[in-house]
Amino acid sequence: MVLLQLALKNIMGAKLRTWLNIFVLAMSFILIVWGKAIVVGMGDQIIDAMKDVELGYGGQLWHPDYDEEDPLTINDAHGSIPDELVPGIEAGQIVPILMATGNIYPEGKVRSVLIRGISPDQQILDLPSSVLKDRKGVDYPALIGKRMARKNNLAVGDMVTVRWRDTNGVFDAREVEIVHIMNTVVYTVDVGQIWFPLETLQKMLVMPNEATIIALGKDTGIAGDLTGWTYKSLDDLLANVLELLRMKNGGGNIMYGIMFSIALLAIFDTQVLSIFRRKKEIGTLMALGLTRNKVIGLFTLEGSLHGALAFILGGILGFPFFRYFAVKGYAMPIEGDEYGFALGNVIYAKYGADLLIGTTLLLMATVVLVSYLPTRRISKMTPTNALRGR
Amino acid sequence: MENGTLVKTKGLTKSYPIGGEHFLALKGVDLEINKGDFTGLVGPSGSGKTTLLNILGVLDNPTDGEVEVLGEDVKKIKAVAAARLRSKMLGFIFQTYNLLPVYTVFENVEFPLLILNGWSAAKRKEAVMQALEWVGLTDKVKNRPAQLSGGESQRVAVARAMVKKPQLILADEPTANLDAENSLNILETMQSLNKDLGTTFLFATHDEKVIGFLKRKVTLIDGLIAADEAGAAA
Ligand SMILES: Nc1ncnc2c1ncn2[C@@H]1O[C@H](COP(=O)(O)OP(=O)(O)OP(=O)(O)O)[C@@H](O)[C@H]1O
Ligand SMILES: [Mg+2]
């Protein structure tokens, strides 16, 4: 009780020191929460976009030879679409996608591309596939993304030569027409990709009724392998993404790590130094008969109170700041493209309860520790040595 | 320890490490302080007065020899018992005041009572105001140490040591920064505490005014007691 009274007195008496400590702690709290919320928001955003645009919500069936990380396997990974899927396909809830490698020749240059066939009537992926529906006078309608268009200087209505090998290994080529340029945050359906109607591509490759992967809508009831097809649950698919994300996320984590270190350094600096500067005071307290444990308790309590006040101040100062970044988002200093992921240019921060509680506990533990340890060390000295302030 | 003996040292030495060497600041001090004494340690600067007071105040460890303070063996005393001794029985006045910087004058003087159990707020206030009256500082209760002159700080330190009326007050140059009037005030207060309550005082001092009040004068030269004689007020 007396210790609390003394701690409060010290805190209120040392106005500047108290405010400095609390301010630094509050800023650290804000910085850490914000940094992590951006990283979390970024991850969630990537995953949501991938689900919407590329993965679907019901998992996928993969041809057993398909390996998304090995382009050389793609031309061999195709098989007949099982009959039992036809009703689902017609309803747009099951979406076979056929893939093949090829080249395009924009402005006389040659570029490797992944050619993809998708049903124009599909309902589950957030891709403007309906633009590939039959059009008068367009035999080979093609859909590309804005990055692909920019890179190859292609516009709607442009014709471009596409060359591929069919199922027998024979080269073939056609002039195709760009009918639409889609604006998507998902890099992997855009860069180096060109989309055709599924049936058109099946004809081009001489692979009637075949596909490479089959994306499933939410309620197809399929949750296991079919003959000739391997089932990948959404979690399996995401595991890949998450793994990639973890690797790619280095940038975000480094940013977070730097913020965290700055915060810890600032806390360490203000707390530890302010305690070492109070050596003489500690010596006085001991000389006046405060026991060692009480001295340690007093300073640790002060540290904890700093932490608690910082939490309140951090909440007050942080709330509008946090809100801004949750609602308006954070404009990435790098383009999502350079990041190599499905990223908009604006990241919306996500503050989970675990983040807030975790950061609070972490900072509390830090501030208690950086109060406790130096005080313990000083209070081991004789009062005269502490009083000398050395 | 005989009844009535508050402090007893035998062959007390204190060495300070300096670089690789040791400096012997006390070279074998035999001293007894009895209850009710009003004793001064005098001697040239550097003779070991502060060193001796610190050890008797259980603020520093002796290097060798025997030291008993209020029945406790200082060489063996545990930290908790030492803290209890300091808070309950001892008052210490530092040469450098050592006031708590964020506390007001009132709070500084109140502190020793606050850490003793059993003092109500009203009783504390009464005792603090009384102690501040002894040192003539009742008009500065709300000042902080940074807002005091050197002499005023010293008077606060004196009030802080005396407020709980301890058995033994160890005072290191308590009048060094005071003018004649304040010195006399404080000395008279100490003298009356000594007379009325039997509080024992041990000073380290150069001050002739203090020396004039002493019942007993112990001269320390170069870490040894050179003379132990009756004082001017004996
Ligand atoms: N921490 C220390 N480390 C090394 N030497 C010390 C230390 N403290 C004191 N000394 C030395 O011990 C001797 C006695 O010092 P002390 O402070 O006891 O003297 P004093 O009699 O109180 O002097 P003054 O009248 O100037 O206050 C001095 O020579 C001093 O240099
Ligand atoms: Mg001295």
Full domain range(s) for residue A307: 2-52+241-387
pLDDT tens digit sequence for A154-204: 999 999 999 998 888 889 999 999 999 998 878 889 989 999 999 999 999
Task: Tell whether B54 lies on the interface with A, counting CB pairs under 8 A.
Answer: yes
Most confident by average pLDDT, B11-15, B117-121, B131-135: B11-15
Give the CA angle between residues B26, B27, B32 to the nearest 5°.
75
pLDDT tens digit sequence for B87-131: 999 999 998 899 998 899 999 999 999 999 889 999 999 999 999
Atom of ligand 1 nearest to the CA of B173: 27
Considering the domain architecture, whether residues A77 and A114 belong to the same structural domain is answered as yes
Q: B28's torsion region: left (phi>0), alpha (psi -120 to 50) or beta?
A: left
Beta bridge partners, B218, equal B41, B228
Position B3 scores a pLDDT of 60
Rounded to the nearest angstrom, the distance between the alpha carbon of A286 and the centre of ligand 1 is 21
CA–centroid distance for A50 within its chain: 11
Which of B54, B100, B111 is closest, CB to CB, to A384?
A: B54
Considering the domain architecture, whether residues A220 and A264 belong to the same structural domain is answered as no
* B23 within some domain: no
Q: In chain A, which residues have pLDDT < 50?
A: 336, 338
Considering the domain architecture, whether residues A222 and A256 belong to the same structural domain is answered as no
Q: Which of A171, A170, A203, A198 is nearest to A105 (CA)?
A: A171
Structure tokens at B159: 């009030």
* B6 within some domain: no
Atom of ligand 1 nearest to the CA of B14: 12
Q: pLDDT-based confidence at B215, cuts 50/70/90?
A: very high
Atom of ligand 1 nearest to the CA of B206: 25
Considering the domain architecture, whether residues A253 and A332 belong to the same structural domain is answered as yes
Q: Which residues of A182-199 are buried (b: 16+ CB within 10 A; e: fewer)?
A: bebbbbbbbbbbbbbbbb
Tally of domains in chain B: 1
* A342 within some domain: yes
Mean pLDDT (whole number) for B170-183 = 91
Position A54 scores a pLDDT of 83
Considering the domain architecture, whether residues A106 and A205 belong to the same structural domain is answered as yes
Most B-contacting residue of A288, A290, A298, A302 (CB-CB within 10 A), to test interface: A288
* B185 within some domain: yes
* A97 within some domain: yes
Query: Which one of the ligands is nearest to B25 CA?
Result: 1
Q: Which residue has the least CA distance to atom 11 on ligand 1?
A: B25
* A236 within some domain: no
Inter-chain residue contact B98 with A384, CB threshold 8 Å: no
Mean pLDDT (whole number) for B37-49 = 95
Provide residues of A within 8 Å CB-CB of chain B.
2, 5-6, 9-10, 13-14, 280-281, 283-292, 294, 382-385, 387
* B17 within some domain: no
- The one-letter amino acid at B192: S
Residue with tokens 């070279």: B27
Out of A178, A211, A231, a domain closes at A231
Considering the domain architecture, whether residues A121 and A17 belong to the same structural domain is answered as no
> Exposed (0-12), middle (13-18) or buried (19+): which is A109, by Cβ within 10 Å?
exposed
Considering the domain architecture, whether residues A66 and A134 belong to the same structural domain is answered as yes
Query: Count of CB contacts below 8 A, A vs B?
Result: 70
In sequence order, the 6+-apart residues with CB closer than 8 A to the CB of B121 are none
* A179 within some domain: yes
Considering the domain architecture, whether residues A140 and A69 belong to the same structural domain is answered as yes
Inter-chain residue contact B60 with A285, CB threshold 8 Å: no
Between the CA of residue A106 and those of A161, A188, A342, B7, B75, what are the distances in Å?
7, 20, 25, 102, 93
Rounded to the nearest angstrom, the distance between the alpha carbon of B51 and the centre of ligand 1 is 6
Q: pLDDT-based confidence at B2, cuts 50/70/90?
A: very low
Mean pLDDT (whole number) for B220-229 = 96
Residue with tokens 């040659």: A110
CA distance linking residue A224 with residue A141, whole number of Å: 34
Q: Judge if the beta carbon of residue B4 lies within 6 A of ligand 1.
A: no
Inter-chain residue contact A289 with B102, CB threshold 8 Å: no
Task: Tell whether B91 lies on the interface with A, counting CB pairs under 8 A.
Answer: no
* B71 within some domain: no
Residue with tokens 């951006």: A38
Position B185 scores a pLDDT of 87
Inter-chain residue contact A387 with B98, CB threshold 8 Å: yes
Full domain range(s) for residue B128: 35-61+76-230
Q: Judge if the beta carbon of residue B49 lies within 6 A of ligand 1.
A: yes
* A331 within some domain: yes
Out of A175, A205, A231, a domain closes at A231
Q: Which residues of A311-333 are buried (b: 16+ CB within 10 A; e: fewer)?
A: bebbbeebeeebeebeeebbebe
Most B-contacting residue of A5, A20, A284, A293 (CB-CB within 10 A), to test interface: A284
DSSP 8-state assignment for residue A55: I
Structure tokens at A146: 């804005």
Rounded to the nearest angstrom, the distance between the alpha carbon of B205 and the centre of ligand 1 is 14
Q: pLDDT-based confidence at B47, cuts 50/70/90?
A: very high
Considering the domain architecture, whether residues A66 and A171 belong to the same structural domain is answered as yes
Considering the domain architecture, whether residues A111 and A245 belong to the same structural domain is answered as no
Inter-chain residue contact A291 with B80, CB threshold 8 Å: yes
CA distance linking residue A60 with residue A224, whole number of Å: 10
Out of A231, A265, A287, a domain closes at A231
Q: Is the pLDDT of residue B150 over 60?
A: yes
Rounded to the nearest angstrom, the distance between the alpha carbon of B58 and the centre of ligand 1 is 17
Percent of chain A scoring above 70 in pLDDT:
94
Position A252 scores a pLDDT of 65
Tally of domains in chain A: 2
> Exposed (0-12), middle (13-18) or buried (19+): which is A226, by Cβ within 10 Å?
middle
Q: Judge if the beta carbon of residue B200 lies within 6 A of ligand 1.
A: no
Q: Is the pLDDT of residue B161 over 60?
A: yes
Query: Which one of the ligands is nearest to B223 CA?
Result: 1
Chain B: residue nearest A10 by CA? B102
DSSP-based three-state secondary structure for B172:
strand
Considering the domain architecture, whether residues A47 and A113 belong to the same structural domain is answered as no
Give the CA angle between residues A232, A236, A240 to the nearest 5°.
120
CATH of the domain at B54: 3.40.50.300
Considering the domain architecture, whether residues A275 and A311 belong to the same structural domain is answered as yes
Which of A281, A290, A384 is closest, CB to CB, to B83?
A: A290
Q: Is the pLDDT of residue B149 over 80?
A: yes
Percent of chain B scoring above 70 in pLDDT:
99
Percent of chain B scoring above 90 in pLDDT:
84
pTM of the model: 0.77
pLDDT tens digit sequence for A71-104: 788 888 999 999 998 988 988 899 999 999 999 9
pLDDT tens digit sequence for B181-202: 889 988 998 998 899 889 999 9
